Structure 1
Amino acid sequence: MMYNNLFKNIKPFEAILFLFIFVSFLLTVGIFVDNKSNEKLLDFIHNLQKKQLEQIEENIDSYTNNIYAFFDNLVLAEAGSDTKYPLIVYNDEGVIYDNTTGKQNYPKPEIGLSNELVLKFSKELSSGNIYYYLRKDGRIYSSYVSIQSLISDSSPAYADVVIFDGVETLYSENYKEFFGKLFRLDEDKYHFLEEGGQKFLFSSTEFRGVNIGIYGAMKNYFSGLSSQNNAFSMPGMVYGIILLLLLFLLKIFISRFAFEKEKFEKLFQLEHEKFKKIVEAIGEGVALIDNNYNLLFVNDYVKNRVNGETEGKCYSVLAGRNSPCEQCGMMDVALNGELKNVRFENFFSCSEGYFDIIWTPLFDEKGEAVAVVELIRDVTDAVNMQNALLKSEHYLKEIIENAPEPIVSFDENFNIKTFSNEALKVLKIEPDKVMKITDIVNDSTFYDKLVTDKFVDNMDLTIDSHGNKSLQVKTSVSKIEKESGYEYIAIFKDVTKIRQLEVKLIQSEKLSALGLLAGGVAHEINNPLVGILNFAQLLSKRFETGTYEKKLIDTITEAGEQTKEIVQNLLIFARQKSEQKDYFDINDSAEFALKILGSRIKYKNITAVNKITNSMRVYGNKGKIHQVFLNLLVNSIDAVDTGGYIEISSDEDEKGSFIKIYDNGKGISSKVMAKIFDPFFTTKKVGQGTGLGLFLSQAILHEHGWEFELDSVENKYTSVKIYPGIDYAN
């Protein structure tokens, strides 16, 4: 079927042309090559051999120049086994340096007194070397090179090289009998030499005192010569066959092209209609622009926005400008071959709005950008919606930032997104340092509730963050579910002052209850105590001084008096009002604390010493100062081991007079020291402390305007100094 279509498309003149070429080919095969043609061929081979000889001369000259430069720049002390060239150095006594593999004691060469480079060819066919000698600095420097290495790239595979002088052959790859005749031959002509029934074509040239010749068998240079007088032109026959085949293939190609052209034109038209329908159905603008900004094609979307005008420069037709737009990226796309996207406002001269312009290069078969496809997308609604959303987000952000309560929003990975100004102030957070909510809240229960509950209401938390030793807050958190995950809005309410007031209220209630209890106990003890003292005094009068009975009764009387004094102190403590202040001796508070805690001191076998010798009258609430001494002394008793030491003393320094309570207990670490005055902070076991002693003591002393200093070294001591201030009198 294919052959029928091919022959069907052959024209008559093409058939005649084919027959003419075929006959010409047959005539060419029958033509003989005359003697003149053979002579031209031999001249060509001779010229080829001369060029090969010139290349060999250039190779030897180049290597000779390199050797001379090597000898001229050589410093013998720097020479080593890694020298680029073989090197043998002679002096008057013989070889002094040899880096060749032979390592033989070569005889000193005879080169005369000349300082020029001497080149000699070896006279042994087996060695095939060129030797170089140079006299320098009283030495003779020698090197050599294989002749084969210099002629290998210049001598063809079908020819051999021979070097000879006027007497003998110096080098040959293959020895021939006719070498003895070479020195008599003229170098300006080619010569025929025979050996073993085979003809060789020989050419030579003179070089540096020797002759270099090149020869090759005639059959290796050309074939098809049956004799010197007649031969068929094989190249002509081959050329004819090739020409015939080319013409035949050209005819097939032309016929096939003509047949397929119509088919592809119809297919192209069909695909063009499909492409046009697809482009129109996109619903976005499409324009094809060449590298000179000329519009080649636009779809109906673009036509409707430019009032039907579709010819001219793109910036003129589309944007109504006299020059390309400043934001235009079309030329960058054409030059770099990369897609680019730019957003324009009011891109069309006849239409307002926001448009995304996307340029894509169109390449030819060489991979060069010949045009650019411009996609025009109307994003006005999306931009307006985005602007409204940004405005809404900005408005909500301002609401959060200016809210009167501390508000923090964060995502499900606990990354903080926004802070209210009140949060920065109340929580004392440094935004540059705090990146996660976990940097503020360290309570694991809080995060468990975030996972399980949708809303966390008024959860009590203690925050330890930047600049905050301890902050009591109530936290409410709302969980918001989004496509990207959960987000949380947390509201913190600072209840530290409320907690402190609650603590003071509880303590006040405790003190009030303790006062009532102390008053009741004092009255209950005081009544039988009066009877004990009265009867003891009556009994004392019945016995003589110094008797055993008298001593027992005096001991009872003394113990009763001490008990009476303790009861009186309890009554004073119970009846003390919080606002009542007066002058009193601060030593009374020290003695009161020692007596109240006397049993605990004796139980631990503690040595407790009061070294306050001078009266120090101060102005304040005696009951509250009693409480301070009780709290501090309790801490000292708990801190020291059995058999420890506690001392209460008075002294002066540059700040003024002070009372010091010292113990040799376990001291306070630097880590604990930072939280020692926090309410409810305690290092004691559960049930042994409330964590309010130092907190209340510091509050009472600050209320009085007294200074309070605490010094401690871990595992050594703790010292507390109380400066009553200037409002006291000795």
Structure 2
Amino acid sequence: MDKSNYAEGSACLAKTSCLKDFAKYLQAIQIPLIVIDGEFNVDYINDAGVRLIGLSQEQVKGKKCYEILKTVDCLTPRCLCAFVMKTGNEVSSETSARIKDGERHFKCFSSPIFDENGKTAGAMELFVDISDLKAAVMRSKQQIQYLKAVPTPVIAIDENFNITYINDFGAKVLGHNVEDVVGRKCYDMFNTEHCRTPKCTSAIAMRTRKVVTSETIARIGGKTFNVRYTAYPLYDEYNRVVDAIEVAMDITRQREMMATIEGIVKSATQVSESVESLSAEILEARGRSVVLATSWHRLWKS
């Protein structure tokens, strides 16, 4: 924007008569907005701002902005309005304020207002409530911390099978640092028998939008692992599948134990069959001996 044109427009805004003309446009903005003079007195606040702080227009007008908003930056060197009135430059920043019954987080945009002589006469500030976004980011960070602590590989991949996240345990299994793994193809790192085939559970999960579990064999660092893994589709804000998360579990020892148990059962079955066969032979031999004894006895008597 041309600085002279901006100064001309803001000079009009600095006048009370012009401010009334601008008010109908500012009221249409569904984001809290205030206009203050050079002494931090509130000249104007729109309806969205009134709803935010829970006061009426009459209660707000003439008060200091820091008395009604009470952000953590108010009356400190971080105050945006003080900065723009001092420098004449637009600026934005994040802050928080205790409003009504709770703390809210805002992205603030502050612009200087000039008088007809081109000198700063006040400031206009917009407050975009990002509390829900901050809470979501915090939850995501907590969930990532949980995933980092899970003692099994967890990875996230995009539609092109690029690894966008891997937990510490997963990177350790691969013998790499997390930074070395992110951005690589999952099939290059895990090298399972399902990779790049129709059996890939991540591909199935992203295509069908369903959670898929399967078992396969992975070859990592010259070693072979039996793996059970589950893939979960991930969605964007438009409910489109954009990623997948895989949770893998090494079941090699389970497989080895099952193989041992199966071997024992097989051996026991063979022994049982041998015992049964031997028992039959013993019974048959016993029967023959009884017949021979009887025949001998009869022969002896005769």
Q: Normalised by the size of structure 2, how large is the TM-score?
A: 0.56
- Name the residue aligned to 1:495: 252
> What SS is found at the alignment partner of 2:181?
coil
Contact 2:71 2:95 in 1 (8 A): no
Contact 2:166 2:181 in 1 (8 A): no
The 1:396–1:458 alpha-carbon spacing in structure 2 relative to 1, beyond 3 Å, is same
The answer to whether the aligner puts 1:414 opposite 2:156 as a matched pair is no
Aligned-residue offset at 1:442: 3.4
> What SS is found at the alignment partner of 1:275?
helix
AA aligned opposite 1:470: K
Of residues 25, 43, 49 in structure 2, which corresponds to 1:296?
43
AA aligned opposite 1:374: E
The answer to whether the aligner puts 1:340 opposite 2:89 as a matched pair is no
Contact 2:191 2:218 in 1 (8 A): no
The answer to whether the aligner puts 1:459 opposite 2:216 as a matched pair is yes
> What SS is found at the alignment partner of 1:453?
helix
**Distance in 1 separating the partners of 2:258 and 2:60:** 82
**Distance in 2 separating the partners of 1:304 and 1:416:** 43
- Name the residue aligned to 2:284: none
- Name the residue aligned to 1:442: 191
> What SS is found at the alignment partner of 1:333?
helix
Contact 1:410 1:488 in 2 (8 A): yes
**Distance in 2 separating the partners of 1:453 and 1:402:** 27
AA aligned opposite 2:245: Y
AA aligned opposite 2:246: I
AA aligned opposite 2:231: S
The 1:462–1:289 alpha-carbon spacing in structure 2 relative to 1, beyond 3 Å, is same
Of residues 217, 226, 238 in structure 2, which corresponds to 1:473?
226
The 1:481–1:502 alpha-carbon spacing in structure 2 relative to 1, beyond 3 Å, is same
> What SS is found at the alignment partner of 2:190?
coil
> What SS is found at the alignment partner of 2:35?
strand
Aligned-residue offset at 1:462: 1.9
Contact 1:358 1:375 in 2 (8 A): yes
Contact 1:426 1:494 in 2 (8 A): no
> What SS is found at the alignment partner of 1:305?
coil
AA aligned opposite 2:167: F
**Distance in 2 separating the partners of 1:329 and 1:342:** 10
- Name the residue aligned to 1:654: none
Show the 5 A alignment for 1:232-243.
Answer: none
> What SS is found at the alignment partner of 1:353?
strand
Aligned-residue offset at 1:337: 1.6
The 1:414–1:475 alpha-carbon spacing in structure 2 relative to 1, beyond 3 Å, is farther
Q: Normalised by the size of structure 1, how large is the TM-score?
A: 0.26
**Distance in 2 separating the partners of 1:394 and 1:440:** 25
The answer to whether the aligner puts 1:358 opposite 2:109 as a matched pair is yes
The 1:271–1:442 alpha-carbon spacing in structure 2 relative to 1, beyond 3 Å, is same
The 1:417–1:501 alpha-carbon spacing in structure 2 relative to 1, beyond 3 Å, is same
The 1:304–1:430 alpha-carbon spacing in structure 2 relative to 1, beyond 3 Å, is closer
**Distance in 2 separating the partners of 1:353 and 1:469:** 54
AA aligned opposite 1:414: N
Count of aligned pairs: 227
Which blocks of at least 5 consecutive residues in structure 1 are unaligned?
Answer: 1-267, 510-730
Of residues 40, 56, 61 in structure 2, which corresponds to 1:310?
61
The 1:314–1:430 alpha-carbon spacing in structure 2 relative to 1, beyond 3 Å, is closer
**Distance in 2 separating the partners of 1:317 and 1:408:** 47
Q: Deviations over 1:230-267 (max 9, x none)?
A: xxxxxxxxxxxxxxxxxxxxxxxxxxxxxxxxxxxxxx
Show the 5 A alignment for 1:25-36.
Answer: none
**Distance in 2 separating the partners of 1:394 and 1:269:** 47
Aligned-residue offset at 1:290: 2.6
With CA pairs under 8 Å and 6+ residues apart, which has the higher RCO, 1 or 2? 2
The 1:499–1:366 alpha-carbon spacing in structure 2 relative to 1, beyond 3 Å, is farther
**Distance in 1 separating the partners of 2:168 and 2:147:** 5
Contact 2:193 2:216 in 1 (8 A): no
The 1:419–1:315 alpha-carbon spacing in structure 2 relative to 1, beyond 3 Å, is closer
Aligned-residue offset at 1:361: 1.9
Of structures 1 and 2, the larger Rg is shown by 1
**Distance in 1 separating the partners of 2:142 and 2:20:** 52
The answer to whether the aligner puts 1:376 opposite 2:127 as a matched pair is yes
The 1:410–1:373 alpha-carbon spacing in structure 2 relative to 1, beyond 3 Å, is same
**Distance in 2 separating the partners of 1:489 and 1:410:** 8
> What SS is found at the alignment partner of 1:282?
coil
AA aligned opposite 2:59: G
> What SS is found at the alignment partner of 1:440?
helix
Contact 1:459 1:474 in 2 (8 A): yes
Contact 2:36 2:44 in 1 (8 A): yes
Aligned-residue offset at 1:276: 2.1
**Distance in 2 separating the partners of 1:273 and 1:394:** 45
Aligned-residue offset at 1:485: 1.0
Compute the RMSD of aligned alpha carbons: 4.3
The 1:430–1:295 alpha-carbon spacing in structure 2 relative to 1, beyond 3 Å, is closer
- Name the residue aligned to 1:537: none
Aligned-residue offset at 1:443: 5.1
Q: Percentage identity across aligned positions?
A: 15
Of residues 18, 21, 24 in structure 2, which corresponds to 1:277?
24
Aligned-residue offset at 1:446: 0.7
> What SS is found at the alignment partner of 2:34?
strand
Which blocks of at least 5 consecutive residues in structure 2 are unaligned?
Answer: 1-14, 206-211, 267-302
Contact 1:457 1:476 in 2 (8 A): yes
AA aligned opposite 2:55: R
